Structure 1
């Protein structure tokens, strides 16, 4: 059998697929996160299905062709492209979705069906329910022996779609991608951060701090740099050292554990993905005995920074300019530049030491690790 084979799947109704939903892996490694569509978007898909409009092809890794080392979960299918569409269909079957309020059934526009669910349609309008249940998706079965082939297919299928850099990198096979996925399993990404993870925002943040650790300093986290990192290259374009990379990941996990202690669940301080790497590097630098002071300091710093911005806006030229806040705001406009990462960290570091000096009447910089 060829290493990569793509053939049309035997036509099956949506009812048939729904009955086998538990035999489909919706979260293979290369997939973007689910539940990205709004209810309005989902309703529009159901509208298109019921009214007989064409739906783009779906692609499934079909493990019924034979045994495959890629079938880690021992399921019949794995989603390659079409996750949102299948999730939407299953939501409608399970009663978690209704027709949009402006829905019009083209075969009988006089029917008022907006807001109804599939259960309602089965009871009052079974012929409409049948249009949905008996619809056939155009599904392509994919057999591959190498994960790189599936990753390449995923990227090619999504080439014209607005994938984020992190979503594309997630389809790159290699140790960096695997470590990034492992890091995002840390509870800080589930419980503490507030920035969105729907478009792989957590993986993007994890990639940045892993790169920081590997380089042992804040560096540029622009897309091209992170792409090269995922492909196995350091900032200076040298091949990554696997042992050093593994050690860097362990250090990241240690610091994330400290961050989990320093920040609250759903912490407002972790609302910005652009600040997360800087806060990470600050926590990494602070001695354990002062970890409890990090959050109160950052709350104070952000309140003072906001007050400074408000003064600049309200008082204009008469406002007193605080250089640390002014520079921090300037650096915060380019969150992926190496200068921005390092500059914001140095400002926070100096401000934190001053904060401790005043609070504990300290006279020397003993709050940071060597």
Structure 2
């Protein structure tokens, strides 16, 4: 079943009052925080000044039960999450209008920089424009995950979706396992890079691919996309690989700190993951930190030169192998730079 039809006429205040019935985070959705405060306030500006805004699309589970309804809520956002969040933030008093906003109504008033409660206090009729603003909502009634996800991708076709966002909208075992891995403590608490565009899912896809292949492989977008589709085309078992990834990430969570400065770049995660998986010593973080100190102080050392050159192509299998072998040599030799220099010819030969 797949039916798209207009939802009943509803105001912003109605959706605000019913927001606990709306799932804003189904698997295919972008992570929160993609819009800046300026972008959010500009949407409220458009509403106040009477401009049209795009349609919202929701999965409507209020008519028939569906196995897609994983939260038990009657509605789930397919397209419009950022807009709903901006509206809810404003009506909660957490978002202020932009300071350069110009009210285009007949009455010449300055409402720039006001939050909702200040606006309601000073200009209640203008506040009511927001409360009573009718939005166009399309109700999607379906029990087919592939159709719901395809609708999300189609609606966002002219928007710059990341590879991780598109893969998250795919059906099948691999996208599901990628989402599970991205929710581990290591990828929610230890990383220190932004996750506003599902970057943690992108890392999770790389780790699952590397684990499933049994070694470093190319992890560019095209390879990750093919891997995400693989479950639908083969009988290969992926859950065992995912369990190994989650087990190693549990170890990594106890090795690294929360919001760890060593994890500011997503490009190093597969290398650190492979070290955790294969070495897994308790002081691994201290050893990596020691190498970074050595790397900053000895830029002409052949191992540092090789490591820095490899770091320019983070998704390349040769880059992964070189960085891993250099770090492994440094760690197993207790930071002996002379021994590391002696190992470099063998490392370069092994990586190639």
TM over 0.5: yes
- 1:28 counterpart SS class: coil
Match of 1:323 among 292, 302, 309: 302
1:129-151 deviations in whole A, cap 9, x for unaligned?
11111111121111112100001
> 2: distance between equivalents of 1:187 and 1:222?
25
In the superposition, relative to structure 1, how do residues 280 and 240 fare at CA in structure 2: closer, same or farther (>3 Å)? farther
Residue in 2 that maps onto 1:296: 286
> 2: distance between equivalents of 1:113 and 1:137?
23
The answer to whether the aligner puts 1:267 opposite 2:283 as a matched pair is no
Residue in 1 that maps onto 2:319: 340
Residue in 2 that maps onto 1:253: 246
- 2:16 counterpart SS class: helix
Residue in 1 that maps onto 2:199: 201
In the superposition, relative to structure 1, how do residues 351 and 109 fare at CA in structure 2: closer, same or farther (>3 Å)? farther
Residue in 2 that maps onto 1:87: 85
1:148-187 deviations in whole A, cap 9, x for unaligned?
0001111111111111101100011111111111112211
- Give the count of matched residue pairs: 337
Shift of 1:356: 6.0
The answer to whether the aligner puts 1:239 opposite 2:239 as a matched pair is no
- The answer to whether the 8 A contact 2:330-2:336 is kept is no
Match of 1:277 among 270, 286, 290: 270
> 1: distance between equivalents of 2:108 and 2:288?
60
The answer to whether the aligner puts 1:35 opposite 2:33 as a matched pair is yes
Shift of 1:108: 4.2
Counterparts of residues 97-116 of structure 1 (less than 5 Å): 97-108=95-106, 110-116=108-114
Residue in 1 that maps onto 2:49: 51
Residue in 2 that maps onto 1:210: 208
> 2: distance between equivalents of 1:301 and 1:356?
7
> 2: distance between equivalents of 1:248 and 1:101?
52
> 2: distance between equivalents of 1:107 and 1:149?
42
Residue in 2 that maps onto 1:313: none
Match of 1:66 among 64, 79, 83: 64
Shift of 1:67: 2.1
> 1: distance between equivalents of 2:323 and 2:196?
27
Shift of 1:292: 2.3
- Which 5+ residue runs of structure 1 have no aligned equivalent? 310-320, 359-370
TM-score scaled by structure 1? 0.88
Residue in 1 that maps onto 2:298: 308
> 2: distance between equivalents of 1:180 and 1:223?
14
Q: CA RMSD in A?
A: 1.7
1:5-27 deviations in whole A, cap 9, x for unaligned?
11122221111111111110111
Q: Decide which moves more: 24-33 or 67-76.
A: 67-76
> 2: distance between equivalents of 1:117 and 1:334?
46
Shift of 1:233: 6.0
